Amino acid sequence: MSLTAYKAPSYAQRAKIAFQYLMPQQGLTRLAGWFAEKKLGALTHFVIKVFTKKYQVNLAEAEKTNPSDYATFNEFFIRPLKENARPIDQDAQTLCLPADGRVSEAGQITQNLLLQAKGHTFTLETLLANDIALAEKFKDGQFITTYLSPRDYHRVHMPCDATLRKMIYVPGELFSVNPFLAEHIPNLFARNERVICEFDTEFGTMVQILVGATITASMSTVWAGIINPPRSKEVLVYEYLAEGESAIHLKKGQEMGAFRLGSTVINLFPKESVALSSHLIAGEPTRMGEPLAKILS
């Protein structure tokens, strides 16, 4: 992990940070979610065209390449890609990246501390909703935090073959998770709403977390559908069997969830279980399916 010296924000930057605390996060998010699900015809298509141009979205790789092909903004935002647009690394000992985006931070978990950004760390316990037993599994392990910008493909996939054992919905704040705010809002990822997914794998327990954000109207998984809304005020825990007809087994590269606007994915790995790819440093672009780590036999 890089521990670059923290630089105090300018007055203009402080105003941006203050706005995050003052703005009506829930209200804006509900409004965005309402609009994103509406079939508004020409208005929806116009908004998609403007969004595509502003954020340089590559619609050529999507199954539907014309903005007018999408009935709602959400349908556009979680657009599936053409077959083989993201080849999955087939090496059995290689984990693949779960999402398109950029590395926010990656590296070793120091005892129970993860690096959020220069100047800020947060703990496994707070990230994992005070599930102490789960947090113990990742002390001195490895992690990677992937930021998905508005232009990115917003479906999230599996790094490896795995069996789902637990899903935890954690209510929380809806701060924006862009790199600037990650540097200036303490405990950002441990404060925001999130869905924690615990998996059994051949190298031990793996956690993949979907982190919500401002305007992230909802998150979904392939086994449970849309998790939010409605938004619970309490932590919700769902446990799953490892075997039997109800067991949920997912293959490497298989879709596991999606963001309807936003956000960030965090992966946790146990100590001495994997070696992260050396190129995965803060700011590095990621493409789903490309190498994430090697399993340590």
Asked if 179 contacts 285 with a C-beta cutoff of 8 angstroms, the reply is no
| 100 is annotated as an active-site residue | yes
The alpha helices in the chain, defined as continuous H runs, are 11-22, 25-37, 42-55, 73-77, 124-127, 132-136, 179-184, 188-191
Between CA 24 and CA 130 the distance in angstroms is 27
Number of helices and strands in the chain (H, E): 8, 18
**Six token digits for residue 254:** 């298989």
Kindly name the residue from 157, 176, 220, 273 that is annotated as catalytic. Answer: 157
Kindly name the residue from 176, 218, 220, 263 that is annotated as catalytic. Answer: 263
| 68 is annotated as an active-site residue | no
**Six token digits for residue 289:** 């399916």
Asked if 258 contacts 219 with a C-beta cutoff of 8 angstroms, the reply is yes
Between CA 276 and CA 293 the distance in angstroms is 4
Classified as helix, coil or strand, 168 is strand
Kindly name the residue from 45, 100, 104, 220 that is annotated as catalytic. Answer: 100
| 218 is annotated as an active-site residue | no
Q: Which residues are catalytic?
A: 100, 157, 263
